[in-house]
Structures are given as C-alpha cells and as structure tokens.
Copies of this chain bind each other. A is one copy, B any other.
Amino acid sequence: MSQKTQEPVVNKLTELATQDAKWITLKRIDYTDQTGKDRTWEVATRKTRGKAGVDAPPSTLVVIQYRPPLDAYTVEWPAGLIDADETAEEAAVREFKEETGYDCKLVSMSPVQAADPGMSDANMKMAMVEVQLGESDELPEQRLDDGEHIQRVVIPLAEFYDRLVEYSKKDRFIVAAKLFHFAHGMRFAQTQKYM
C-alpha cells in the first residue's frame, strides 16, 4: 500500500468530567496516527507523579506499536481483550494471529494475574505459545483493526534482556513491564550465584 505515513503526534490532552476523583482521573487523547487520520484514545492516569527463520536460534516475537497514553512506541508481547463469547485460550490464539499473522500452538496458560493492583482492577492471564516461523523472509499478513500499525520483531532468547535494555534507551520507546520482568527473571536465574 502507498499510504502516506508520518510520526504520530499528540495534539491535545482533554480533561474528562471527573470532579469526584482525587487521585486518578480520565483523559481523552486526540492524536493523529501514522496515516494522518485523527483518532482518540481514553486513558486513566494518576494525578500525582514525582520527578523523578529455520536454523534461527530459539527466539521470541515481540510487537512494537504507538501507544497514545504514553506518546511512545511500546515493546510488548501480543495481547488483547477476551471477547464475551470466547475463552482466554481462544483469545490468545486469535490475538496472536491478528497481531503477528502467525498461527500458534498453545503450550500453557497461567492463573489469573492482577495487571496493576494499586491503580486498577484489570486482570490478565499469560499464554505460552509455540510458533514455527516460515523459511522465507516474507512475513504473513496481519489482520489488524483500522488504526492499528504493529511492527513485528524476532528476538533470540539469548539476547532477550539486553535487547529490551537497548530499546529502553531509544527516544520515544518504552518496554512493557510484564515483558521486561519475564526477561529480567530469565537473566536473574542465569546469572545469580545462588541457584
């Protein structure tokens, strides 16, 4: 496609009616996406914040996308909301296909976890999946919603932690905490002397 693209720009932060909230508030972000289309996003934010291929090595697949709440590109594993008529397992396989284009095989599903317990009641499960990358350099077609622009990056597991630290140093890039904690746990188990 020959769509015109540009860097996403946050144009305005608008306060929603939240007169009763003391610590957190809702904001609507009006932004222009990579194709020049004006869009909106709703975000919950705290009111208080201080300064402050074959033969390829075993790898993981991360997705990078512009996230309006952060005005930054996030490095994450594929994720999404569970539809009303599907199980967590079905949602994991569906979202992986939509965001990466690949069919995957479910290996395991975690218990329910609290996404960010001090601030929200959001919860999630983590699915471990296996995927066989194709032999060609051509990537399978994604099934993205209108407005989604998702880049796929294959990272060898041996470089996982270091690559996430590198991404964190890039301007306008931020790594999702769950992804970072998993990679950090791997590194910790491999390097610390006690175990």
Residues on A facing B (Cβ under 8 Å): 16-26, 28, 42-46, 48-52, 57-58, 67, 69-70, 72, 74, 76, 79, 81-88, 91, 110-124, 126, 157-158, 165, 168-169, 174-190, 192, 194-195
**Contacting pair B24 A195 (CB below 8 A):** no
Do A117 and B18 have beta carbons less than 8 Å apart? no
Q: Told that A24-B44, A52-B88, A115-B177 touch, could you supply 8 new A-B pairs with CB distance under 8 A?
A: A25-B26, A58-B194, A67-B117, A69-B118, A70-B114, A126-B177, A126-B181, A179-B181
Q: A26-B44, A194-B58 are in contact. Are A114 and B18 (CB under 8 A)?
A: no
Q: How far is the CB of A189 from chain B (nearest CB, A)?
A: 4
Copies in the complex: 2
Ordered by A's residue number, 11 sampled pairs between the chains whose C-beta atoms are within 8 Å are A18-B26, A20-B28, A25-B26, A44-B120, A50-B91, A52-B91, A69-B121, A111-B175, A113-B175, A114-B174, A126-B181
In the complex, what residues of B have CB within 8 A of residue A169's CB?
Answer: 111
Q: How far is the CA of A69 from the CA of B79 in the complex (A)?
A: 22
Are B26 and A120 in contact, with the CB atoms below 8 A?
no
Q: A114-B174, A175-B114, A189-B189 are in contact. Are A126 and B43 (CB under 8 A)?
A: no
- State the CA gap A81–B190 with chains docked (Å): 30
CB closest residue in chain B, given A87: B52
State whether B116 touches A115 (Cβ < 8 A). yes
Interface pair A70/B118, CB less than 8 Å apart: no
- Establish whether residues A45 and B182, one from each chain, have CB atoms under 8 Å apart when the complex forms: no
Q: Does B42 lie within 8 Å of A24, measured CB to CB?
A: yes
Nearest-Cβ distance from residue A195 to partner chain B, whole angstroms:
6
Chain B, residue nearest A15 (CB): B20
- Within 8 Å by CB of A120, from B19, B58, B83, B120, lies B120
State in angstroms the CA–CA spacing of A91 and B22 once bound together.
22
